[in-house]
Amino acid sequence: MTSKKRYCKTLQLKNDPKLIEEYVKVHSMGNVWKEITDGIKEVGIIDMEIYLHNTTLFMIMDTAETFNHDEAMTKLGNLSRQKEWEAFVSQFQKTSTDSSANEKWLLMERIFKLDQKLVETATEGYLEVEQ
């Protein structure tokens, strides 16, 4: 049996079909800068997925059970090319160019889970147990 934490986040893109198409393109397989994906893994994120609906992005981050969200996001923000990446992708997002990923991506509170057994908060992550 293994345990991990899950964090869900959201972010709004600018309502411009051409910008959204380009945002999808820069996030397609092989296009995200290697320093960014390496940094994501370095801070303890095991897996990350981003989904798109119209202008709304939804991110799922899976981490180790011992992961500390705030510490990891601070560390991530200081890794190689992270500030450059955030400035680059901000052209597509409803954010300022100097916002960090932690300031842009807002944690979402889980309000329902089938067979939920624990009360958990967004900042602590949601414990996922695989059997």
- Three-class SS of residue 106? strand
Average pLDDT of the residues of the chain = 93
> Which pLDDT belongs to residue 131?
67
Q: What is the DSSP letter of 103?
A: H
Supply angle C-alpha 8, 47, 41, rounded to 5. Answer: 115
CATH number at 80 reads 3.30.70.100
Following CA atoms 23, 35, 37, 18 in sequence, which dihedral angle do they give, to the nearest 10 degrees?
0
For residue 102, pLDDT beyond 90: no
* pLDDT for res 115: 85
Distances (CA, A) of 67 to 14, 76, 121: 31, 13, 14
User: Worst-scoring range by mean pLDDT, 10-14, 60-64, 76-80?
Assistant: 76-80
DSSP secondary structure of 45-77? EEEEEEEEETTEEEEEEEEETT--HHHHHHHHH
Averaged pLDDT, 53-81? 95
Task: Quote the number of domains for the chain.
Answer: 1
Cα–Cα distance for residue pair 95/110, rounded to 1 Å: 24
For residues 98-106, give the mean pLDDT: 89
Q: What domain range is 122 assigned to?
A: 2-130
Of 127 and 90, more confident: 90
Give 14-56 pLDDT, tens digit per residue: 999 999 999 999 999 999 999 999 999 999 999 999 999 999 9
